[in-house]
Structure 1
Amino acid sequence: MDVELGLKIVEQILEQKRLSKVQEILLQQSFVGHSYVEIAKISGYDAGYLKDAGSQLWQILSDALGEKVSKNNLVAVLKRNSCRYVRTESDRQFNSQLNSTAYSIPDFSVRMHDCAPLPTPDYRNRKQEIDISCFYGRSNELSLLEQWILGENNSISRCRVVAILGMGGIGKTALSTKLATQIQDKFERTIWRSLQSEPSLSELLLDIIQSLTQLHESYLPEKLSDRISLLISYLRQQRCLLILDSWETILASNDRLGCCREGFEGYGELIERLGTEIHQSCLILTSRETPQEIVAYSGEKLAVRSLQLTGLQAAEINAIYQTINTFWGTPEVWQQLVDYYGGNPLSLKIVASTIQALFDGNISQFLQCWRAEVFILDGIRDLLDSQFNRLSDLETEVMYWLAIEREPVTVIELQDDLLSILSKQQLVNTLNSLCRRCLIDKNGGKFIQSPLITDYIVEKFTQQIYQEISLEDREVFGDRLSLRSQI
C-alpha cells in the first residue's frame, strides 16, 4: 500500500485528528513491514516505548473500525476499508487501481483455454477445529513452535513449513489448534483444514484460495503447479497461517514410507514449494509419519522444521482425568499408569473410562487386575492397528524382534539376531523408517519400543501362532515357537 494514501485513510478514520510524530513513524514503518526493533533503530525511539504507543494506536483504530487492528494486519484492514474513506478523485483512482491488483494473478501467464471451471467445493466433509478448553501441558512445545513460526528470537529464522509429528492420539491436532489460537493475531488469516476426507489437492487449493480472497472466481489454472503458484502469490500478499491436519491419510503405506499415494503426489510439491519459495505465511502440518519432503528440506536453522511429540507428564494426565471424573491413587501409581501408556492422552482417556466403569476410579485396583494378566483395550488396539497395518514386511519383522528383546538394543545387536533375514543396509533403513513412523524410540544409540507396543506385538505374535497351528504350518510355527520361548 502507498504510504501517503495509507496515512490519509487513517486520518479519515480518526476524523481528521492529527497524528503525532510517533504515530506517523509507526504507521509509515508498519506499512513496509518493519518490526518494532527495526523502527527503533531508524527513529531513535526506545523499542518498548514504540510497542506501547503502537498498542494504543491499534486499539484506537480497532475501536473506530469495529474490527481488530494489529501491526501485522494493518495494511489488509486499510485496503478493505479504503472505499469508505477515500475522498478525492485522485485518491479514488489510486484506490481503484489498488483494489484491482489486490488479488492479481502471479507472474506466470494463464490463458482462458488453459483454465478449468471451478466446481462448487464440498463444505460438508470439512472437519472443524477441535475443542481445546481442557488443554494441559505442552508449554515448552508451544513456546518453541511460536519462536519458529514468528521468528521473534533473533537467533531463530522464521519458518515457512512446520511438521508436528507423533503417534496417533499423542495430541498433534490439539497442539496445532492451541498454537493457532495463541498466534492468530499475528496473521491476517488462519485457515485450518483436515485431510481425513482425503480431498484432492486441486479441491483443497480451490478451497484455500477462495478463503484467502473471499471471492468465488470463475476460473483457476488447470495445472496443479500453476495453482500452487497462484496460492503462493496470495501467501506473499497476505500473512496466512495454514494448518493441514492428518497428513498421513494421503501418504502411501508399506514400503513407500513418506511418499504420497497415487493421485496425491501434488501434496509433496506443495510442501517443497512452500518450504523453498519466499512468502510471509506458514504451513503447519500434523502427521503420524514424516513426509519425505520434510526429511529432505528440514533443518534446525532452515525454513522447514519438524517437532516430534512425546507423551504428557503424570501431573498433566492427572489434571485431564479430573475433568472426566474422580480418580485416585498414589503418585507412584499415577506414574506407573502414565509410563505404561507412554503419556499418550488419547490412550489414557480410553483407559480412564474402564477405570471409572469397573474400578470406580481406583487406579491401583486397575493396575493389579492388569498385572495379573496383561490386556489391551479395544479402543487402544484399534489405534495401534491403524499404524501397524501400514508397515512393510521388513518393518514388521524388526518390530517382532524388538518385542522379543524387550531391552534397548543397538544396531549391531539387532543385526546378530536378524543376520539371516536382513542385511545391514536393510536393517538401518528399516530402523530409520520405524523412527519416522514414531513407533520406536532411540536413546543413546539404542532402540526400544514402549511397553504398550511390546505387549501389543506379543499379543499379535501369539495370535499368529494360534493361526499357524490351525493351518498346520509346521515350518513357520517351529521358527516362531523358538522365538516365543525367549519372551
Structure 2
Amino acid sequence: MNLKEMLNVADRIVFEKTGQHLDDLQEAVLRGTLERETYKHIAKDFDCSESSARNAGSELWRILSEKLGEDVNKKNFCSAMQRWQVSNVSNFAKDVVGIGIFNLCGEPRHPPDISNSHNDEKSNPQQTKTLHQDLSEMPDLGDFFDRTPELQTLTTWILQQRCRLITLTGISGIGKTTLAVQLVQQIKNEFEYAVWYTLDEFPTLEKFQSNLIQLFSNSEKQDSSPTNQKRLPLINYLQNHRCLIVLDDVHNLFCSGELAGKYKPESEEYRSLFKQIEKLSHQSCFMLIGWEQPREVTQVKSQNTSIRTLQLKGLDIAAGWEILRDYGLEESDNSETLIHRYQGNPLWLKSVANLIQDLGGGVTDLLPNDTILLPEDLKDVLQQQFDRLSELEKQVISLLAKESQPINRAKLLENEIIPASDLLNALQSLSRRCLIEQQANFYTISPVLRQYAIARAV
C-alpha cells in the first residue's frame, strides 16, 4: 500500500464504524505516523495542542484495532495495514477456491448447497477444535518498531515450512522478545495450543514437561469429558495436536563461565528434548529465544532440516530516528552516526537518548567525534552478558578491544597468550553469543562493547 491507499482504507474503516469520514486532524495524524513524525511534530504542523493530536490518534488506533483484529498503534500502523491487506487477499482466494464459484476456465459453477454446511463442518475437524492458550508469562508488547522482513521470515518458517524448532537469538536489548510477542499475537490462532514459558521458572525438564502435560490433560478433559485420562509422553501430545511453544530466556539453561551452550547439570535433559523435537515426526513448533542457543542447534547448517535460526540485527535508520524523536531529541547530522554507533539496538539507543535528554544537551554537543556514552543502566545490561563469559572468551574480547579496525584471524593467532585451538573455540563461542562480528576471516566488536571492555579492564 502507498500513503494514499492507506488513507483511503482507514477512511472507509472509520466511516463504517462512526458514519463519518476522517477529519483533517485524524488525516494529519495518519500522515504524520506514516512519515514517522512524533505527536509533537504533528501538532506543530497542524497548529493544535499535542494532547489533541494524541487523543485523535488514540481514537483512531481503537477503531482500527477492532477492525483489523490486532492491537494497532502508532508504532505498527503501517505494518498492520499491510498485513490486513495480505490477509484479505489470502482470505478472498481461499473463499473463491473453497466455494468453487470460479474455475480456471472462468466458467461459473453453482455454489454448494448451504443446507450441507453443517455436515461440512463436521467433516473438517480443524473448524471444531478448541483453542487453548497459556500466554500469561508473555510480556506486553510495548514499543514495537517495524520488523516486517523478520516477521515474514518467521511466519513462513512456522506456518508454511512447518519447522519444528526455531531459535531467535541476538545480543541483549536487540528486540528478540518484542519480535516474538508480535509474532505470537499474529499467528497464535493457527494452533490448537499456544504457550509461552520463561525458562528461569523451569530449570529442570521434569518440571517443564509436567506443567505442559498438565495443560494438555486438563484441556482434553474439558473437551471430551472422559471418565479417566491417561497422561501421555510429551511427544505424543505434540504429534496429536498442533502446538506453538515459546521458551524465552533459553540461556538460563546454560552455565556461566563456560563456552556458549553448555547445559547446567540440572538442565542437561533439555538436550534430549530438543533433539527429539527435531528428529521425530510431529506437527508442532518450539521457538527458543535467548542470548545463546543449544549447541545441537548451532551444529545444523542445512536448510533441508526442520531447524532454523534467526539472529536479530539492529533497527534501520528510520526506526532509530523514531526512538530518538520519542525522547525529544532533534534530528541532526550526527543522529545517523549515533544510530550506527549503537548498532540500531533499541535498548542501547533508549538508554543513551535518555541520558542526553536528562543532561539537557544534544547529540552534537554530548557525542562529538567518536565518543561513546555508557549510561549506568546500559552498563548493567552489558555486565549481565559479560558475566556469562568464560575466562578464555574475556581474553579474546580484550584482544579485539585493542583493535579499532577488524583484525585478521591469522594475526589473532599470532598472539602469545592464547593457544590457537583455544582461541578458535573462543571465537566460535563469542560468535554464537552475538558478541563479535565476522566478515570472511576478519573479526571485530561493536564500538559500545569495545568501550565497555576497555572500561572493565581499567
Normalising by structure 2, we get a TM-score of: 0.68
Q: Which runs of 5+ in 2 are unaligned?
A: 1-92, 102-110, 222-227
Checking the alignment, whether the CA contact within 8 Å between 1:76 and 1:238 is kept in structure 2 is: no
Verify: 1:457 aligned to 2:458, yes or no.
Answer: no
Cα RMSD, aligned residues only: 3.3
State the SS of the aligned residue for 1:405.
coil
- CA distance in 2 between counterparts of 1:144 and 1:80 reads 27
Task: Count the aligned residue pairs.
Answer: 345
State the SS of the aligned residue for 2:309.
strand
Match of 1:380 in 2: 378
Checking the alignment, whether the CA contact within 8 Å between 1:190 and 1:240 is kept in structure 2 is: yes
Match of 2:178 in 1: 174
Residue pairs, 1:58-457, within 5 angstroms: 75=125, 78=128, 128-151=137-160, 157-215=161-219, 230-297=233-300, 299-322=302-325, 324-330=326-332, 332-359=333-360, 362-368=362-368, 371=371, 374-416=372-414, 418=415, 420-457=416-453
Checking the alignment, whether the CA contact within 8 Å between 2:352 and 2:374 is kept in structure 1 is: no
State the SS of the aligned residue for 1:137.
coil
The Cα offsets for residues 253-297 of structure 1, whole Å up to 9 and x where unpaired, read as 223420211111111112111111111110001010121121234
- CA distance in 1 between counterparts of 2:204 and 2:97 reads 46
Checking the alignment, whether the CA contact within 8 Å between 2:260 and 2:430 is kept in structure 1 is: no
State the SS of the aligned residue for 1:196.
helix
Bigger Cα displacement from structure 2, 179-188 vs 244-253: 179-188
Rate the CA distance shift 1:303–1:70 in 2: closer, same or farther, 3 A.
farther
Checking the alignment, whether the CA contact within 8 Å between 1:329 and 1:364 is kept in structure 2 is: no
What is the CA distance between 1:49 and its match in structure 2? 2.5
What is the CA distance between 1:370 and its match in structure 2? 8.1
Rate the CA distance shift 1:80–1:454 in 2: closer, same or farther, 3 A.
closer
State the SS of the aligned residue for 1:407.
coil
Checking the alignment, whether the CA contact within 8 Å between 1:313 and 1:343 is kept in structure 2 is: yes
Rate the CA distance shift 1:451–1:74 in 2: closer, same or farther, 3 A.
farther
The Cα offsets for residues 36-74 of structure 1, whole Å up to 9 and x where unpaired, read as xxxxxxxxxx977225669xx9xx99x99xxxx999x95
Checking the alignment, whether the CA contact within 8 Å between 1:275 and 1:297 is kept in structure 2 is: no
State the SS of the aligned residue for 1:283.
strand
Rate the CA distance shift 1:51–1:131 in 2: closer, same or farther, 3 A.
farther
What is the CA distance between 1:183 and its match in structure 2? 1.6
Rate the CA distance shift 1:287–1:219 in 2: closer, same or farther, 3 A.
farther
**Corresponding letter in the other structure for 1:132:** L
Checking the alignment, whether the CA contact within 8 Å between 2:324 and 2:330 is kept in structure 1 is: no
Checking the alignment, whether the CA contact within 8 Å between 1:169 and 1:347 is kept in structure 2 is: yes
Rate the CA distance shift 1:79–1:135 in 2: closer, same or farther, 3 A.
closer
What is the CA distance between 1:321 and its match in structure 2? 4.0
Checking the alignment, whether the CA contact within 8 Å between 2:121 and 2:127 is kept in structure 1 is: no
What is the CA distance between 1:422 and its match in structure 2? 2.2
- CA distance in 2 between counterparts of 1:329 and 1:70 reads 57
Normalising by structure 1, we get a TM-score of: 0.64
The Cα offsets for residues 397-436 of structure 1, whole Å up to 9 and x where unpaired, read as 11101011221012101112x1x22222222111111101
- CA distance in 1 between counterparts of 2:121 and 2:320 reads 36
Rate the CA distance shift 1:370–1:181 in 2: closer, same or farther, 3 A.
same
Match of 1:49 in 2: 96
- Percent identical: 31
- CA distance in 2 between counterparts of 1:290 and 1:401 reads 25
Match of 1:41 in 2: none
- Rg larger in structure: 1
- CA distance in 2 between counterparts of 1:77 and 1:195 reads 33
**Corresponding letter in the other structure for 1:386:** Q
Match of 1:6 in 2: none
Rate the CA distance shift 1:79–1:423 in 2: closer, same or farther, 3 A.
closer
